[in-house]
Structure 1
């Protein structure tokens, strides 16, 4: 049986997951994500490269890093914990000002593994926020400058402008024709360029951004129907179908787990 439990504390979301048949659709998160494979094998494509995290593997995801996910072992369940840490909080704990990226996506480090498990448990069991902050510092103390690379990547200006235009349409229907016209491209030139630069189509990017912002809105309001209206989903069924493909639970199950 697939089971996903989420809890929030000090701007960090902890997830404890057990899955057998579930698979994540291609998506990304706005946060840094750090996780530990407790049992089984987690297989996923990260920026188009196949990865496999075995028992005790520590998974490291950068913000907006595209990935999917599934259990890689048919005869046992995949159990793991994951922390989603807002970039500004993670960088503050690291003592960094500039955006950095993990230089490795999977490591096997006993102390880092245990520190992630400790903070996950503290959040899931709703321990004091001061303790959670100290446990976050324990995690970041595992990293040195060599574990990161500075993010100096210059984004294609056309793609950057396209993303900005898509952000403005999150509560509406994506109009690729209008965006392409504004960028002085044909519709198909635009789709091809966007996918070549980001790894996903404009519609996939639009839907992923819509879900990220809808989840944040849902966390603050606890109002599912207001979220459906605010972000232009056809109805609750439409919202839940997309939400579950990325987060493993329905919107209602998600807010119930946060209570």
Structure 2
């Protein structure tokens, strides 16, 4: 399989009826709806993802949703992958941000589907990578709303970025509000107010999100569920499993059995 897809999560889920709590990813999310629908809330706006629509989340966008008999495939390309393809097209290193959360474009849908199909069938690397480049370059050319200079995630949101780095440097810590506020030289009141205004999540939800993203990666890379949950700061296994399912729509045991999986 292509090296550029190492450690990239793929999902192919059938007949989901899950409710997804507010969360975000530090990657893009690019997904196809095959059957059913998802009522989704992205950056506080409501959308419906029906059959043959494309769903896109830019890095850091807070979203949630309610699924109804939802069959879909997703993958989570990194900022680096998307910006590299943008650079190959336009010869400058930029991060594209996409125009719409839900895109209705049958030709683009087919291109992304061809990429997913070749990936899940484990076809030759040259074919998978060709489909990937064709799909992502079409997405960039058709749906880019604006671009930013290539920077790390949350670079334009100082409080969020400093908190993100602080949490990820010691993910297993039992953080207090005082610790988080002190890290950015604010009172607890001002930290809470500015954090939620700038990001749309409470600090607690932000910490849980970061822990679950880290645990997801650890499980994909072979760590046991109990080891991964403890390593990221969950001491209660059932609490970890409940939160994991609320964020990702499947249990950690499903991920462990089917890393880069088809359900």
Q: Does 1:105 align with 2:101?
A: yes
**Structure 1 counterpart of 2:147, from 140, 144, 150:** 150
Offset at residue 145 of structure 1 (A) = 4.7
Structure 1 residue 70, shift from structure 2 partner: 1.3
For residues 258 and 162 of structure 1, the distance between their equivalents in structure 2, rounded to whole angstroms, comes to: 30
Conservation of the 8 A alpha-carbon contact between 2:163 and 2:183? no
User: Does the 8 Å contact 2:96/2:140 carry over to 1?
Assistant: no
Cα distance in 2 for partners of 1:227, 1:187 equals 30
Name structure 1 gaps, 5 residues minimum: 1-7
SS in 2 for 1:41: strand
| Helix, strand or coil at the partner of 1:12 | coil
Task: Please list the CA deviations of residues 136-182 of structure 1 after superposition, one character each: whole Å capped at 9, or x if unmatched.
Answer: 01202313556321136863433332332222331121221122234
- The C-alpha deviation readout for 1:86-143, integer Å capped at 9, x for no partner, is 2212222332622221122222111210111122222223333332211101202313
What corresponds to 2:211 in structure 1?
210
Q: Please name the residue that 1:80 is paired with.
A: 72
SS in 2 for 1:99: strand
Instruction: Tell me how large the CA RMSD over aligned residues is.
Output: 2.3
TM-score under structure 2 normalisation? 0.85
CA gap 1:164/1:29 in 2 versus in 1, 3 angstroms:
same
Post-superposition Cα deviations, 1:7-43, rounded to whole Å, max 9, x if no partner, equal x954433211233531111111222111122122211
* Structure 1 partner of 2:10: 14
Task: Determine the structure 2 residue equivalent to 1:224.
Answer: 225
Q: Distance in 2 between matches of 1:54 and 1:21?
A: 14
Aligned pairs (5 A) from 1:23-62: 23-62=19-58
Mapped pair 1:89 → 2:89: no
- Which residue number corresponds to residue 173 of structure 2? 172
1:234 aligns with: 235
Change (3 A) 1:141 1:168: closer
Output the CA distance in 1 between the equivalents of 2:125 and 2:223: 21
Unaligned 5+ residue runs, structure 2?
none
How far apart, in 2, do the equivalents of 1:251 and 1:12 lie? 16
Give the 3-state SS of the residue equivalent to 1:16 in structure 2.
Answer: strand
